[in-house]
Amino acid sequence: MSYEQDNPWCQEIKEGIDRVMADSAELTYFYMNTKVDLQGGREKAKEAYELYEELKPDGIITVDDNAQSMFVVPYLKDRVSTPVFFCGVNNKASAYGYPNQHISGTLERGHIRESIAFLKQLIPDVENICFIVRSSPSGHAIKSQVESEQSTYIVPIEHFLLLTDSSQIEEFTRTRGAQCNAIYVDSLEGTTDINGKPMDNREVIDFLKNNYKGPVIGGNSYHVEDGAVSAVAKTGQEQGGIAAGMLLKALNGTPMEKLPVTRNYKGRRYINVNSIKELGIQPRPIVLRGATLVTTPK
């Protein structure tokens, strides 16, 4: 795993892997902690390789982009024959030289277009959207996705902020917040506060909402649970389940060329009841049909 054990995205992916493989394999998880300590990632990758040599596993699942660039490419790709299946990868597979004779997996693509369209159903007056994501490999990949598909969005993009610390949120909302009908957030974990301490997802969303009084939406269920208005969420469970299923097939004899790189497709609509009440949003009953309603924990 690229990130920390308590990272909600990692927890979702672990659930997906466990659901598919826990009854048929002995699973060992390793966390690189790169959301809170990106600079320490290369040392963690070295530790991961030492664990690989110790365990000599029959297969490996590598999660998110940092695990590919810091671990798979320098230590495993074209150097071992162990089947490797990735998931949670925002970048293009070709950026890492995937697929090859022992590596395949599933790309992660956010349902950004669908999340914006869902917000438009909740708040028809929304005429543009701004983006705030952390400046990280995942954040830059999200920006690339937005640039490639923005012509299909129901409203235009007004601004896109790649941030590293909370002061940039204050500056952005002060100078450009009034121009944003809504703000889409993703990949926020690891943004630092004024003391240089990494913030978790909820802390960043709370900080943003204290500085911006319009609707905030996201791309994951935990964004909504942490205070965003809504999302059409991709799930880590789907990512982990796909990668684990591919690995099981490989271990049971399916050739790698029969296991091409794929991507996620499922999306579930989420609405935060507290947040729509705060904003005075009164959605039509038909918009609520089939959506998962959540509240923000105290």
For the chain, domain boundaries: 8-109+235-263, 112-233+268-294
pTM for the full model? 0.84
b (16+ CB within 10 A) / e for 260-280 = ebeebeebebbbbeebbeeee
Q: How far apart are CA 172 and CA 285, in angstroms?
A: 34
Residues in the chain: 298
**Per-residue model confidence (pLDDT) at position 181:** 98
Q: Which of 3-7, 136-140, 170-174 has the lowest mean pLDDT?
A: 136-140
What is the sign, positive or negative, of the torsion defined by CA atoms of 216, 221, 223, 226? positive
pLDDT tier, 263 (very low <50, low <70, confident <90, very high otherwise): very high
Q: How far apart are CA 10 and CA 6, in angstroms?
A: 7
b (16+ CB within 10 A) / e for 160-196 = bbbbebbeebbebbeeebeebbbbbbbbbbbbbeeee
Q: Is the pLDDT of residue 63 over 90?
A: yes
Mean pLDDT of 26-46: 95
CATH superfamily of 112-233+268-294: Response regulator (3.40.50.2300)
pLDDT tier, 256 (very low <50, low <70, confident <90, very high otherwise): very high
The percentage of residues in the chain with a pLDDT greater than 70, rounded to a whole number, is 100
**DSSP reduced 3-state for 143:** helix
**Per-residue model confidence (pLDDT) at position 296:** 87
> pLDDT tens digit string along 64-89?
999 999 999 999 999 999 999 999 99
**Per-residue model confidence (pLDDT) at position 46:** 98
Q: Is the pLDDT of residue 298 over 80?
A: no
Q: Is the pLDDT of residue 111 over 80?
A: yes
Fold match flag (8-109+235-263 vs 112-233+268-294): yes
Fold for 8-109+235-263, please state it: Rossmann fold (3.40.50)
The percentage of residues in the chain with a pLDDT greater than 90, rounded to a whole number, is 96
Q: Is the pLDDT of residue 254 over 90?
A: yes
pLDDT tier, 232 (very low <50, low <70, confident <90, very high otherwise): very high
Residue 99 preceded by cis peptide, ω within 30 = yes
